[in-house]
């Protein structure tokens, strides 16, 4: 297990993993779990939504309004945009943008899921909604070995979902990227610390999709997660901009 030193620390991380997994996965998925709605298939060319701008040399991230755009750090050169279908929908699209000398270029797109009850501006533990906002991406990990991530990667069996979760979720955390919502950046995704308090929730990750909504995380295909892990570079200060379309564009 990388970046975790000593048997005592490893045991502590494993124990913390059970807490964090409960926060991220929220136990067994709801009735929609396991539904085959095409999650993981690449989005058709043309970008999210009708009339999407060209995919290279963009001045701004498409369909992200001034309110959230102002929260993207000036030094961010990679943005993972999560376009939620609606405020109460679990369906979304994830698009990776990278900034070059001439503007933002679209690098990849994947069908996705978010919280099974949709989105919220005031996320709380157990609400089954994903938090709307702009969050840094600094740490990664998973059950599987590092696929070539540039972000610090913690390889640990502590990411394994509990046996009582639905079978369809067994590989959800093969790869994860921690979303810096109510967490300490620079630590393993398994770190249970919640600086804003337990009631504000936590354990919000990008992880593998199981075909339906999550307890607050954002999920995409295994190939998509591997692609993000290989692309996201700490030197480019990656962030995620996430929310339903109405709030993103507001």
Domain segments of the chain: what residues? 7-249
Task: Please report where in the chains the tokens 């991230």 appear, as a residue.
Answer: 61
- Note the pLDDT of residue 24: 62
Task: Compute the distance between CA of residue 196 and CA of residue 210 in angstroms, rounded to an integer.
Answer: 29
CB atoms within 10 A of CB 30: 16
Does residue 95 register a pLDDT over 80? yes
Q: Between 189 and 11, where is the model more confident?
A: 189
Give Cβ neighbours of residue 105 (< 8 Å, ≥ 6 apart): 55, 56, 57, 58, 97, 98, 99
Which DSSP symbol is given to 157?
G
The pLDDT > 70 percentage for the chain reads 78
pLDDT in tens, 59-91: 999 999 999 999 999 999 999 999 999 999 999
Q: Stretch 186-206: mean pLDDT, rounded? A: 97
Judged on CB neighbours under 10 Å (0-12, 13-18, 19+), 232 is: buried
Confidence of residue 37 (pLDDT cuts 50, 70, 90): very low
Task: Compute the distance between CA of residue 112 and CA of residue 82 in angstroms, rounded to an integer.
Answer: 8
Give strand pairing partners of 242.
82, 133
- Note the pLDDT of residue 55: 82
Tokens of 194: 């919640």
Give strand pairing partners of 68.
none
pLDDT in tens, 129-148: 999 999 999 999 999 999 99
**Strands, E assignment, 58-165:** 78-84, 91-100, 103-113, 119-120, 130-131, 133-136, 140-142, 153-155
CB atoms within 10 A of CB 53: 15
């Amino acid at each position: 297990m990388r970046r975790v030193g000593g048997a005592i620390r490893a045991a502590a991380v494993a124990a913390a993993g059970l807490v964090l997994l409960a926060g991220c996965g929220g136990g067994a998925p709801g009735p929609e779990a396991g539904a085959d709605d095409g999650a993981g298939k690449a989005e058709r060319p043309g970008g999210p939504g009708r009339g999407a701008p060209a995919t290279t040399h963009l001045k701004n991230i498409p369909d992200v309004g001034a309110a959230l755009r102002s929260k993207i750090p000036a030094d961010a050169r990679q943005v993972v945009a999560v376009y939620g279908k609606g405020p109460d929908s679990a369906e979304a699209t994830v698009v990776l943008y990278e900034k070059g000398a001439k503007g933002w270029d679209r690098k990849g797109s994947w069908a996705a899921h978010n919280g099974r009850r949709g989105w919220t501006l005031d996320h709380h533990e157990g609400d089954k909604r994903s938090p709307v906002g702009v969050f840094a991406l600094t740490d990664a990990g998973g059950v599987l070995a590092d696929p070539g991530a540039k972000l610090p990667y913690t390889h640990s069996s502590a990411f394994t979902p509990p046996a009582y979760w639905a079978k369809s979720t067994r590989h959800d955390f093969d790869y994860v990227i921690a979303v810096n919502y109510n967490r300490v950046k620079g630590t393993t995704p398994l770190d249970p610390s919640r600086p804003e308090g337990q009631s504000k929730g936590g354990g919000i990750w990008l992880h593998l999709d199981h075909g339906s909504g999550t307890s607050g995380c954002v999920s995409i295909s295994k190939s998509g997660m591997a692609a993000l892990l290989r692309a996201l570079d700490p030197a480019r200060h990656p962030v995620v901009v996430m929310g339903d379309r109405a709030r993103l564009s507001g």
